[in-house]
Structure 1
Amino acid sequence: MSAQEIPAVAPTAERIQQHRRYLMCRPDHFTVSYSINPWMEPTRPTDTNKALRQWQTLFDTYLALGHEVELIDPIDGLPDMVYTANGGFVIDGRAYGAKFRFPERVPEGPAFMDWFRANGYEVVEPVEVNEGEGDFLLVGDTILAGTGFRSTGDSHREVGDVFGRDVVSLTLTDPRFYHLDTAIAVLDPVQGPGGVERANIAYLPAAFDEPSQGILRERYPDAIQVSDADGAVFGLNSASDGRNVIISPRATGFEAQLRERGYHPVLVDLSELLLGGGGIKCCTLELRGGSR
């Protein structure tokens, strides 16, 4: 579905759309020249122009839905910078910077922190290895934090100290789902009408160890549990404004589950960027609060 084909959004009693502000980065330099996750195969050709077209559709979709999108300039030699979600974690105008595990991505951390400073955010430089909103998801007043492949467990303590919020640690066990945002989608807004918190999520149980699965079952008994087939096409690497959920068109089972719950799936194909191990959420960093 192109941005022009998105139907008008009518408010419903069930699901309330909330305004979002995002940070994105054009994939001008996108390629796969190294491998730091199972999706990346440097011998497999990539098409930068196709990646740009698909990214533009996602950008246009956000604007068509009434959201704001800020841009950070891409840097030659940093092909993964398009995955802005990994560049930090922002709540109430404070930005906790990223400290990447792999040397290929390390220079992205300072680049994102420079952008945050230049745009009026209070920046907290990290001590511990973390990959931003890739492994930190805000659900209500709680931060779900992933570990196992990228962000360290010590970063969970650090992010809790930075924002003064409860942190729930979850351990990822499948290398295909190396960031938390590949295995969990936050569906409802942080706050609903009248200040009532809502905390609906969707997740892939098989991506987590048994204790983490137990935590998710207990905390989110009404969560959507997606199939392995939908998880494997990065169906959960999605963005939601509380009503509209931007997902991969290949996650057909998840699409049906969302419709059953009263959400409005909007299909955007980022198949080329998946060659680098990223999808819709990876390309989308939420800016909560700030100077504008």
Structure 2
Amino acid sequence: MPTPRHATPRRYLMCPPAHFEVTYAINPWMDPTKPVDVPLAVAQWEDLRDRYRALGHTVEELIPRPGLPDMVYAANGATVVDGRVLGARFAFREREPEAAAHLEWFRAHGFAHVREPVHINEGEGDFAVTASYLLAGRGFRASPLSHGEAQEFFGRPVIGLDLVEPRYYHLDTALAVLDDAADEVMYYPSAFSPGSREVLRRLFPDALIATDDDAAALGLNAVSDGLHVLLPQAATGLFHPLRQRGFEPLGIDLSELLKGGGSVKCCTQELRDHA
């Protein structure tokens, strides 16, 4: 019998891809020689935004800025837990100005506890919030020193996880939280070091394990409200196991935004406003 699931209303921050392009390569998914269809990217992004709203969630919008094509990946701009905001500090200069744009938004929207970080972290790209832990990726972008900074700021135990496969350069490309009230996740073991795989096995013995093909479709770059799991539609192998566990998978086509190395989760920052 599948576990009974319940959706919880969420509040998200997203940024339209009005200025999206791929003119540089800072991850293995990016190829500046491949053209980008901006109207299609906007239409796909709007479909995701509208799906969230149709499910009863609130979507706030960050105004995109010219010259910052990766602002559409709003998850990277900050991490919000219990109404506390830890800003981002980007590893690549191309994205550095995004951090200030996010901090300005939070300060303008009544968030009282906002921290500009000392160490490199790329927001929810490498921080994932479960009921018990703050999972924290490292190896390609985030500094290991950001883990202690986050633990001290949020007062939650941080579990460091080493990423070793360049295509899965952020934690949110290799692991997704399915139920943040019950420490339930899905992940792709090969993206992690042997020791980190063992940590995940111990912490989440019943996790859903993704196949090579579903990971390669960025199927783990997903967002769950506790019932509905929005994920790339090409990750077909995840749909049946999710349904077996009582979730309702919803396939999303973000093929244009995949050209920049992101999908559903990359476009979606969760605003966890309250403790």
TM-score after normalising by structure 2: 0.97
Partner of 1:93: 83
- The reply to whether residue 147 of structure 1 matches residue 131 of structure 2 is no
Shift of 1:93: 1.3
- What does residue 155 of structure 2 align with? 164
Task: Look up the match of 2:45.
Answer: 55
Distance 1:32 1:85 in 2: 18
Of residues 199, 203, 210 in structure 1, which corresponds to 2:187? 203
Give the partner amino acid of 1:127: V
Secondary structure at the residue paired with 2:93? Answer: coil
- 1:40 and 1:205 mapped to 2: Cα distance? 23
1:35 to 2:25 alignment: yes
From 60, 63, 73, the equivalent of 2:63 is: 73
- Structure 1 distance, partners of 2:170, 2:131, is 20
Map 1:173-212 to 2 at 5 A: 173-188=164-179, 190-191=180-181, 198-212=182-196
Query: Which among 115, 132, 142 is matched to residue 123 of structure 2?
Result: 132
Q: Per-residue displacement from partner, 1:3-39 (whole Å, max 9, x unpaired)? A: xxxxxxxxx9711111110000000000001000000
Aligned with 2:220 (options 221, 226, 236)? 236
Give deviations 1:38-78, integer Å, cap 9, x for gaps: 00000111110110000000000000000000011000000
- The one-letter code sitting in structure 2 at the alignment partner of 1:29 is H
- Cα distance in 2 between the residues matched to 1:285 and 1:176: 21
Alpha-carbon RMSD across the aligned residues, in angstroms, is: 1.0
Show CA shifts across 1:56-107 (max 9, x none). Answer: 0000000000000001100000000000000000011111000000000000
How far apart are the structure 1 equivalents of 2:240 and 2:216? 16
CA distance 1:32–1:173, change in 2 (3 Å): same
**Does 246-255 or 276-285 show the bigger shift?**
246-255
SS in 2 for 1:26: coil
- The residue identity in structure 2 corresponding to 1:103 is R
User: Of residues 198, 204, 209 in structure 2, which corresponds to 1:214?
Assistant: 198
Structure 2 unpaired stretches of 5+: none
The Cα shift of 1:141 comes to: 2.7
Counterparts of 1:221 and 1:157, CA distance in 2: 25
Query: Percent identical across equivalent pairs?
Result: 53
1:7 alignment partner in structure 2: none
Distance 1:145 1:13, change over 3 A: closer
Instruction: Determine if contact 2:126/2:172 at 8 Å carries over to the other structure.
Output: yes
- SS in structure 1 at match of 2:19: coil
SS in 2 for 1:202: strand
1:285 aligns with 2:275: no
Unaligned runs of 5+ in 1: 1-11, 192-197
TM-score, structure 1 normalization: 0.92
* 1:272 maps onto 2:256 in alignment: yes
User: SS of the residue aligned with 2:94?
Assistant: coil
**How many Å apart are 1:199 and its aligned residue?**
1.0
In 2, the alpha carbon distance for the partners of 1:244 and 1:253 equals 16
Alignment length (residue pairs): 272
- In the TM superposition, residue 243 of structure 1 has moved relative to its aligned partner by 0.3
SS in 2 for 1:144: strand
Moved over 6 A (4+): none
